[in-house]
A and B are shown apart, each in its own frame.
Chain A
């Protein structure tokens, strides 16, 4: 299979970025919008073609999906270690190509309407293209270092886009926070790469993930060296997961994600819902054989528990937030936790790998409906000019399309059949049930919570009280409505894609069955959530408030996101700045510099003293002369007489 054309999928957005970036002053806003959309559309078309070719024409050999790699050396470290640049085609990368280009295209189209009239229109599209390039490069990476490179680029695009409204202090702070928190995670990632690279002797995914023909273990000798009771490779994987957790906003590195909502809404939809934040999931999936086989999946267990906890944690916080984008942000975090959980409970072979499949499936469907939710929220915000639930209500009359599409997305995420979320979530729960019942119940509980907070949001925006608006809210223009409709369509049909035919852990297709009892329980939980939300929020009443008061301190803690921001603030401001940086600055001035200055000053002082001897008084000289002569004479006599 010739895959060289896949190279153009990331390169076209790069070209668009360069064109828009260099011609920033000269290109008219409308033109730049078209250029951006056209570029992404080409990329998307190529991705679809590639997907078709790979899945249906030439990807499969003897029932196994092939991993096709083309690469070239980018930089040499040692004889064995080098960074390659190239493209790696396998089921998950193709799937991610489709997801990224689709969502990105939709967001591009949407942004033409949403950002209309903004001064930095061209800049916005340039950044979007830069992001698309980096994300596609990340997806296609052939080795750990390449993924790290694009990982960083994705991070910086995210930084630029969050800080897009750079005159707003909160946006700048949020951008900075996002970058630094993920950078901190990347520090772990990098160390992990170094460890794995050193002990495995390569960065290549192919070699790292190579499994023996029976599918029972890695070819890589991972048990050679151990450190504190675990194999060093396990440590490496845990550190790599730290990187993934940072980017995917897993607990406790999640704090940047809610703040990142300061960016324009299309950006939130693209980066902080559908694509970049799932990079962590993708990374674990990419190294799945390693995670699974090294040390009997110790690292994978960590992934599962972190995922489950984050999922629960975020879902609880999402219950109480009033900023609609933040609710969605926590929902994203929760759903990504779900994907991590699914990966964590997965096995490698055949049907046992259902978790892996489910995770990727959920990634796919989640991208569709979460992007839709964000774009819908953007549409609402565009109309109401506020992010807060208290400023909304009864919007269904003004914005029918947004209303319907938002409802579809909400149903999808709540796991109501036949919408997309139902199918993928069901597979996750099945996988969890088979492997670890505790995680299953956590997942189930989160599903209920998800349904509740999502419909709280839905009813709060489109039903509930009839707010008086200063300006009559109106439906969004077609450029914004079209992506909504398209994604709504996808949210409905995506669930019917037989994912287990395409994306599996061992790359061999298997039959996935709907586990009816489990599905019924899950749907039941979801419906309970929706009904409670219905009671609480359908009509304006004080039930919810009374309920909240009943929980008292717990509600308060949740509302303040368990004070995690405050803890981080404390660590950075108080500890890093006041306890490390300031003392270092003082130390530098006072002691290090002081020592050097002291040497200088002492020299001057001594020379002042010595200068005093050179007084110009003849008598002093005579005094020294006589004493000197006498002294020397004494010495000589002493020496001669002995």
Chain B
């Protein structure tokens, strides 16, 4: 519990972060930037888990566990993403989204 801060304010913050992440995800044209936006989204949701755990169900720890898992998954995901990006860079010397469209064919 943060003294003087209601759950609404925290949710407002996470919502804002979440949509900034989405905004970045859609508008950025670089794979790494997209990855960064993704981290924002993940973090926003992770905060939500924790906050809901703390404010509404203080007796259990599920929210915390989920946050831990999110962090773990995010780490794994980032590692893979970076591997892919580097591999891609080796192949086409670019990490721009527009150069990776050929997947659609």
Name A residues whose Cβ lies closer than 8 Å to a Cβ of B. Answer: 614-619, 622-623, 626
Binds A, one of B43-51, B64-72, B79-87, B96-104: B96-104
Q: How far is the CA of A623 from the CA of B28 in the complex (A)?
A: 12
Q: How far is the CA of A524 from the CA of B28 in the complex (A)?
A: 116
Instruction: Give the top 6 A-B pairs by smallest Cβ distance, nearest first.
Output: A616-B104, A616-B101, A623-B26, A619-B26, A616-B103, A622-B26
A-B contact pairs, 25 of them (CB 8 A): A614-B104, A615-B101, A615-B104, A616-B101, A616-B102, A616-B103, A616-B104, A616-B105, A617-B97, A617-B98, A617-B101, A618-B34, A618-B97, A619-B25, A619-B26, A619-B27, A619-B28, A619-B34, A619-B97, A622-B22, A622-B25, A622-B26, A623-B26, A626-B22, A626-B26
Name B residues whose Cβ lies closer than 8 Å to a Cβ of A. Answer: 22, 25-28, 34, 97-98, 101-105
Q: How far is the CA of A617 from the CA of B104 in the complex (A)?
A: 8
Q: How far is the CA of A435 from the CA of B98 in the complex (A)?
A: 102
Q: How far is the CA of A415 from the CA of B5 in the complex (A)?
A: 135
When distances are taken between beta carbons in the complex, the residues of chain B under 8 Å from A626 are 22, 26
A630 CB to nearest chain B CB (Å): 10
When distances are taken between beta carbons in the complex, the residues of chain A under 8 Å from B28 are 619
A621 CB to nearest chain B CB (Å): 10
A299 CB to nearest chain B CB (Å): 79
Given contacts A616-B101, A619-B97, A626-B26, list 12 more A-B pairs with CB under 8 A: A614-B104, A615-B101, A616-B103, A617-B101, A618-B34, A619-B25, A619-B26, A619-B27, A619-B28, A622-B25, A622-B26, A626-B22
Contact residues of B: prevailing secondary structure: helix
When distances are taken between beta carbons in the complex, the residues of chain A under 8 Å from B26 are 619, 622-623, 626
Q: How far is the CA of A622 from the CA of B101 in the complex (A)?
A: 15
Q: How far is the CA of A411 from the CA of B46 in the complex (A)?
A: 127
When distances are taken between beta carbons in the complex, the residues of chain A under 8 Å from B25 are 619, 622
When distances are taken between beta carbons in the complex, the residues of chain B under 8 Å from A618 are 34, 97
When distances are taken between beta carbons in the complex, the residues of chain B under 8 Å from A622 are 22, 25-26
When distances are taken between beta carbons in the complex, the residues of chain A under 8 Å from B101 are 615-617
Chain B residue with the shortest CB-CB distance to A624: B26
Q: How far is the CA of A615 from the CA of B103 in the complex (A)?
A: 9
Chain B residue with the shortest CB-CB distance to A621: B26
B43 CB to nearest chain A CB (Å): 18
When distances are taken between beta carbons in the complex, the residues of chain A under 8 Å from B104 are 614-616
Q: How far is the CA of A465 from the CA of B34 in the complex (A)?
A: 112
Q: How far is the CA of A622 from the CA of B102 in the complex (A)?
A: 18
Chain B residue with the shortest CB-CB distance to A623: B26
Q: How far is the CA of A616 from the CA of B103 in the complex (A)?
A: 6
When distances are taken between beta carbons in the complex, the residues of chain A under 8 Å from B22 are 622, 626
A23 CB to nearest chain B CB (Å): 69
Q: How far is the CA of A614 from the CA of B26 in the complex (A)?
A: 16
When distances are taken between beta carbons in the complex, the residues of chain A under 8 Å from B27 are 619
Q: Which of B26, B27, B101, B105 has the most CB of A within 10 A?
A: B26
A180 CB to nearest chain B CB (Å): 61
B26 CB to nearest chain A CB (Å): 5
Chain A residue with the shortest CB-CB distance to B23: A626
B80 CB to nearest chain A CB (Å): 15
Q: How far is the CA of A421 from the CA of B93 in the complex (A)?
A: 111
B41 CB to nearest chain A CB (Å): 11
Chain A residue with the shortest CB-CB distance to B102: A616
When distances are taken between beta carbons in the complex, the residues of chain A under 8 Å from B103 are 616
A108 CB to nearest chain B CB (Å): 80
Q: How far is the CA of A618 from the CA of B27 in the complex (A)?
A: 11
When distances are taken between beta carbons in the complex, the residues of chain A under 8 Å from B105 are 616
Q: How far is the CA of A623 from the CA of B97 in the complex (A)?
A: 15
When distances are taken between beta carbons in the complex, the residues of chain B under 8 Å from A623 are 26
A26 CB to nearest chain B CB (Å): 69
B25 CB to nearest chain A CB (Å): 6
Chain A residue with the shortest CB-CB distance to B105: A616
B81 CB to nearest chain A CB (Å): 12
Chain B residue with the shortest CB-CB distance to A627: B26
Chain A residue with the shortest CB-CB distance to B104: A616
Chain A residue with the shortest CB-CB distance to B19: A626
When distances are taken between beta carbons in the complex, the residues of chain B under 8 Å from A616 are 101-105
B33 CB to nearest chain A CB (Å): 11
When distances are taken between beta carbons in the complex, the residues of chain B under 8 Å from A617 are 97-98, 101
A122 CB to nearest chain B CB (Å): 71
Q: How far is the CA of A618 from the CA of B26 in the complex (A)?
A: 8
B28 CB to nearest chain A CB (Å): 8
When distances are taken between beta carbons in the complex, the residues of chain A under 8 Å from B102 are 616
Q: How far is the CA of A626 from the CA of B104 in the complex (A)?
A: 21
Q: Which of A619, A623, A626 has the most CB of B within 10 A?
A: A619
B14 CB to nearest chain A CB (Å): 17
Q: How far is the CA of A619 from the CA of B31 in the complex (A)?
A: 10
When distances are taken between beta carbons in the complex, the residues of chain B under 8 Å from A615 are 101, 104
B88 CB to nearest chain A CB (Å): 13
Q: Which of A614, A615, A618, A623 has the most CB of B within 10 A?
A: A618
Q: How far is the CA of A447 from the CA of B26 in the complex (A)?
A: 104
Chain A residue with the shortest CB-CB distance to B22: A626
A639 CB to nearest chain B CB (Å): 23
